Structure 1
Amino acid sequence: MTDTPQYKRVLLKLSGEALMGELDYGIDPKMVSRIAREIKTVQELGVQVCLVVGAGNIFRGMTGVASGFDRTSADHMGMLATVMNSIAIQNALEQEGVDTRVQSAFPIASVCEPYIRRKAIRHMEKGRVVVFAAGTGNPFFTTDTAAALRAAEMGCDGLLKGTQVDGVYTADPKTDPTAEKYDRLDYHTVLTKDLKVLDASAIALARENDIPIVVFSIHKHGEFARVMCGSGEFTIICKE
């Protein structure tokens, strides 16, 4: 692996489930600390890093809807859960010596900064990691869409999706042993085959802004840095 990163500024999208580690629910401090070390390693390569994290480890909006909540209330609860996850990541990063800021899409002044695009960019230019919380600040949009939106607003040259598996497959490799991995896909194929990498609006946003999406396993030690340098196991989604 070369030590030269292929990206200058990236957004890392993590699911809330990525923070559970070996737990069935909530936040595993050991897992969050390991993710923080992965991010620190990438930052030390000279890459500017920002993050969006989901809330599935605490509260998932659509599950709430199925349980009887109205969609707007359920999504607001999910957005608040992303703030909790973001603060956990900030704490772990700062324990690793990485200066970090959390910016929320809706104001929670006692806890974190409001989302201000220019301020976020300035933080990254100063070597800080920025964690974007509360999704887009609007119901009916997922944190996938928030990740693509923030990646576009920040001028990122890559959107990294840290998942449970090492790329995009024709089927779920955990349940289908015949599933084959894609090394490269174009946005149109992902949408037409409904491959469930990110939601459709997020894929469309990435396509419109020509931001490549790189899907890799966040559970492999050192994989984030390897992927940044063009090595490791991943699937890249970009133009044809």
Structure 2
Amino acid sequence: MGQDNLRYKRILLKLSGEALLGDTPFGISPEVMDEIAREIAEVYRLGVEIGIVIGGGNIFRGVAGASKGMDRASADYMGMLATVINSLALQDALERQGVTTRVQSAIEMREVAEPYIRRRAIRHLEKNRVVIFAAGTGNPFFTTDTAAALRALEIGAEALLKATKVDGVYERDPLQDPRARKFDHLRYQEVLERGLKVMDATAISLAMENRLPIVVFNLRQPQNIKRAVLGEPVGTTVSN
């Protein structure tokens, strides 16, 4: 299959930290990590240039820490460090699949990751390396959703693919209301007006201002990342 079949040739894949849990209550499931790495490797071999932002919720959530009395900035920095752990684990899993991978961190820690440098990241992508962007934006009070939208725009990604635990965006939580309707397509403004839990408002606003399409889909369904880059109908698309 050649690049002519691809809907998106450069993507930013957003993974939640919770996606790495599998059946474990905390940390990283090696089996789930290997499964995700295999899915990404398949897309990589199609010739897609891939940037990745991964959350840290399987280890520590800044908002949750702050709600229990911690200073919000300190809690957010801890959350950023959790994303670095996940990024290094994903790098290892991808390289075992034969995928050349670089981790770039917004918080400098040269012993384990490159510092985030936009031009270097783009050069890695052009050289067919997957780039994992760790430590969010490097600033407290910003989520990894916002980091994903920001990095997607910085590297010139054609779409932001958000891999979640559900198969798209619903009007209400489908686990609480089985009759909740799933949306195939939404406009950015609808997401903001309805308060839908796609991504946080800052990330949606960034995407809206820069016309960056967001595709929300279920990571647990095999081949979904591949289907999204091929432009097949999958999950919910948020665009104009």
> So what's the TM-score if we normalise by structure 1?
0.97
For the 8 Å contact 1:223–1:232, the answer to whether it is kept is no
For the residues of structure 2 that align with 1:93 and 1:232, how far apart are their CA atoms? 26
For the 8 Å contact 1:187–1:237, the answer to whether it is kept is yes
1:179 is displaced (CA, Å) by: 0.6
Residue identity in the other structure for 2:89: A
Partner of 1:16: 17
In structure 1, list runs of 5 or more residues that go unmatched.
Answer: none
SS class of match (1:151): helix
Residue identity in the other structure for 1:84: I
For the residues of structure 2 that align with 1:106 and 1:63, how far apart are their CA atoms? 21
Structure 1 residue 29 corresponds to structure 2 residue 30: yes
In structure 2, list runs of 5 or more residues that go unmatched.
Answer: none
For the residues of structure 2 that align with 1:131 and 1:11, how far apart are their CA atoms? 9
For the 8 Å contact 2:2–2:46, the answer to whether it is kept is no
For the 8 Å contact 1:2–1:229, the answer to whether it is kept is no
Identity %: 59
- The range that moved more, 130-139 or 35-44, is 35-44
Question: Equivalences for 1:41-120 in 2 at 5 Å?
Answer: 41-120=42-121
SS class of match (1:189): helix
1:233 is displaced (CA, Å) by: 2.6
Structure 1 residue 172 corresponds to structure 2 residue 194: no
For the residues of structure 1 that align with 2:53 and 2:35, how far apart are their CA atoms? 17
Q: Deviation digits for residues 30-83 of structure 1, max 9, x if unmatched?
A: 101111111111111111001000010000001101122100100000000000
1:2 is displaced (CA, Å) by: 10
SS class of match (2:33): helix
Q: Deviation digits for residues 149-196 of structure 1, max 9, x if unmatched?
A: 000000000000000011111111112111111000000000000101
- How many equivalent pairs are there? 239
For the 8 Å contact 1:106–1:134, the answer to whether it is kept is yes
1:232 is displaced (CA, Å) by: 4.8
Residue identity in the other structure for 1:11: L
Moved over 4 A (4+): none
SS class of match (1:237): strand
For the 8 Å contact 2:53–2:134, the answer to whether it is kept is yes
For the residues of structure 2 that align with 1:156 and 1:231, how far apart are their CA atoms? 18
Pairwise CA RMSD: 1.3
Partner of 1:127: 128
Structure 1 residue 220 corresponds to structure 2 residue 221: yes
For the 8 Å contact 2:188–2:238, the answer to whether it is kept is yes
Cα 1:224/1:84, change in 2 over 3 Å: same
